[in-house]
Structure 1
């Protein structure tokens, strides 16, 4: 059911927040975390949300979370990590590149 090599990772902080959301916001049991891109032309934005698996998806399980990525989006996501920031200035999910420490998307 799941593919082997994962293009993205999820930090422990983000995994805990995702699981909390899935439990408290009545996300259906057959849904997983959708990681992808939107946009085009001048650039793309990285996105996350909750969705059912589609035929064009690659599926992974990361920290007991089903993760779905459209095959066409994989090249934009390789090496990215989903992280969660909870500070006084802002709160939310963000994408980082653990290799160089940069934030993207």
Structure 2
């Protein structure tokens, strides 16, 4: 079985914003940031939101942030970097080589 320590990266400004959001909204500890994709092909977009892990999810602790990734999405999100800019969160990912 493959074990990944950090399948994604969380930039410091995103980490702080996530932790502040969780605390200020009193979101329970069992929640985490779900990262995935929606759609496919040219119409794919990033999925980010707070959620509770399900049976098909992998859960990671990345820089103190609980990250939830559906096993079906793992290949697509590997190496993604979560950032934060005024107006919201960003996701950067280099295309596969």
TM-score category of the 2 structures, normalised to the smaller one: 0.7 to 0.9
When you count strand as a share of all residues, which structure comes out higher? 1
Residue of structure 1 in register with 2:53 after alignment: 53
Preserved contact between residue 8 and residue 62 of structure 2 (Cα < 8 Å):
no
Q: What SS does structure 1 have at the residue aligned with 2:76? A: helix
Runs of 4+ in structure 1 over 6 Å off: none
What's the Cα RMSD here? 1.7
Describe the superposition over 1:31-64 as per-residue Cα deviations: whole angstroms up to 9, x where unpaired.
Answer: 1111111112543111111111111111110121
Residue of structure 2 in register with 1:11 after alignment: 11
The runs of 5 or more residues in structure 2 that have no matched partner are: none
Equivalent residues, number:
93
- Deviation of residue 5 (structure 1)? 3.2
Q: What SS does structure 2 have at the residue aligned with 1:53? A: coil
Q: What SS does structure 1 have at the residue aligned with 2:44? A: strand
Q: What SS does structure 1 have at the residue aligned with 2:45? A: strand
Residue of structure 2 in register with 1:103 after alignment: none
The runs of 5 or more residues in structure 1 that have no matched partner are: 101-105
Q: What SS does structure 2 have at the residue aligned with 1:72? A: coil
- Deviation of residue 6 (structure 1)? 2.4
